[in-house]
Chains A and B, each alone.
Chain A
């Protein structure tokens, strides 16, 4: 078997296949199964500040019948957050105690003080690295793009000030100049960037005429957007990149490594096939490397990136001649 070790999150990983943050990585037993299957690292389910708030809302509405003292309702402001953090820290310490595979904590907060608070506690609990699951849906017409971007830099700066463990970020593609933004982010001192966040998407049921929830799992075709940007960005930014969305096979994973990613994060395929999807992917990458005569990932990583090939191949935006020659 070829040497498929790599480096991401500022850590040496035995495999470039990382179990991405998902509900499967929220339970220690599941995490252990993913570790045993050969994951290079495991990103624990994100702790969301917004989720904590929704839990608070639910609890407050349940207390109506008991005519609770408002002082007690205030108590929930604190206790629900506290209990959620405690539960998360327990997950970190439990999984750390039972596996040598790197455990990466993941947080998503709204306020900078909570990013800092959560980051500190996560480091104390023994996580190997931290992934900041960052996004602002740019839906506020009153906000400027600078405004939105500033949030990323301030949060990163605040978190880096308080923790020593490597900090990576996971971002969306919603930036007016994605390349420029990623370059600036890479210069902040973070250990890695994962592209792109996969969001909840609304859909519409035309029969009932209701807004519904789109399928949450990725499909194998979803990899093209992150692949394009991995190819464009790698070699241009001084930070390790990982990709996520639509990576269901070893072949797709290899494409990302060729485009310059150091690792891939997968979730949907594990939902569909179970932890063995990781083993299969590791084996597939290794087989391909053997077939091609590569000894290590560094032997071919980024060999097909924009920096190593041509701008034309990666940055062409319109189909033009391609469709011009097609006849129906």
Chain B
């Protein structure tokens, strides 16, 4: 694995055709390809991820739905991969994982080598294996999908398998790190973009500090994604790995309040990566939205995920509704509604103004939600809430929607069906219609160029902001991004910051 401690090289290499060819021509891979004929590989059926039974899992907030592949399942699935000469799957991966290489290591039974391969370019393989929308990324560009119109190789499941195997084996590898160059850089926020950035910068020899405003590191991975999808202990292991590589984490530290960028510069920080996320909840601003019992998905999920509100041993208050409506159709809405079910809701409903086809949530999450008895009221939009004499929400009014012509996002536009209003009894409403960028840094740093929506404007190639030493990525730039896109931003920013700092010297 020599030479892989440099993330810039590793990125270039993992997408460099010549290098990929050299890797592919290694004897062990050539031998492996010969072992099974391609027609036999393509005849195999895609593995199905084992899951905990719905009626069991809805009793637990912290037990994972997907239980992971067995070694035999993983090896069989890995053998479906044709080890293509032109691995298009890599093009679909924002962090450029050398996918055929790690998959072939699994087929070979070298699971630890597979995990090591993942870590060449990804700081969070166990996380990505669980929450990345592979069906829209690497699996969407897999040869099976593109050319054979068959189910793609289950790259996401295999990624998770390799990462879990390594963690459970007790032989966690720590990626090589270049000798310290003594240059201090900081990441603001500790979500996936920052962690990915920190992983790459530490490999290059920088002195990396990640500043987090909350008491827990992990950002959205900890407060946003419930444990039944991503257990906190999985995130902790990946954080521990980064710490072992030398990344420093500072908790309860708000850059822009606890200390300004100027203060940090005085302490010797030469460049910054801002990934402060989008944590400002949005509401619909419809009548009655201020009644008790109506809260944002941010608040609801943070109370449960980060402050243990689901556990009776903790004092964190949370409303455990019997009739819960969650407004929205994204992954956050799915996480909220499934959390409500686990907290005892008898009726947990998704209310989304478009149809199932346009729902932004991952297909897998929608499927899991359905299995768990979540009710879907599609093509419906809330227009008013009503409350009892104490001001507690007890009813909501929604109107039916139809679908018009596709909008600029390619999805059909919802159109109100006049006179179609109806009421639904509710005692808890969770509004998951999106979040706005964290306004703190854009308002603190006046010279920073910011869009009208509060996102930091960057050069898309370099992630560099209008302030040369300030780079940015993730939700604070994109407004909303998947974990893996945020991680891709972190890697891109690390490469550009490295170049910037080296040129300065």
Residues in A lying within 8 Å of B, measured CB to CB: 53, 56-58, 60-61, 63, 65-79, 82, 85, 110-114, 116-117, 120-121, 154
Contacts and interface: CB of A to CB of B under 8 A. Distances in A.
Contacts of B416: 110-114
Contacts of B481: 66, 68-69, 72
A79 B434 contact: yes
Residues of B in contact with A, size category: 35 or more
Given A74-B360, A75-B434, A68 B408 contact: no
A78 B408 contact: no
A73 B399 CA distance: 21
B479 A72 contact: yes
A73 B360 contact: yes
Counting from the closest, the 9 A-B pairs by CB-CB distance are A72-B480, A75-B434, A71-B330, A70-B360, A111-B416, A60-B408, A71-B360, A61-B408, A69-B480
A96 B478 CA distance: 37
B308 to A, nearest CB: 26
Contacts, number: 102
Given A79-B453, A85-B285, A117-B383, A72 B434 contact: yes
A61 B408 CA distance: 5
Contacts of A66: 460, 477-479, 481
A76 B330 CA distance: 13
Interface string B421-443: 10000000000011110000000
A211 B233 CA distance: 64
A201 B381 CA distance: 35
Interface string B19-38: 00000000000000000000
B485 interface: yes
Contact of A78 (B282, B399, B479): B282
* Chain B interface, >50% SS class: loop
Nearest to B478: A66
B403 to A, nearest CB: 13
Nearest to B434: A75
B433 A74 contact: yes
B395 interface: no
B407 A57 contact: yes
Contacts of A117: 286-287, 383
B205 interface: no
Given A66-B460, A72-B478, A72-B479, A57 B485 contact: no
Nearest to A162: B287
Interface string B380-423: 01010000000000000001000000011101011110100100
B383 A79 contact: no
A66 to B, nearest CB: 5
Contacts of B485: 67, 69
A78 B433 contact: yes
10 contacts: A67-B478, A69-B478, A71-B330, A71-B332, A72-B481, A74-B328, A75-B479, A77-B414, A113-B383, A154-B418
A111 B421 CA distance: 12
A69 B482 contact: yes
A75 B282 contact: yes
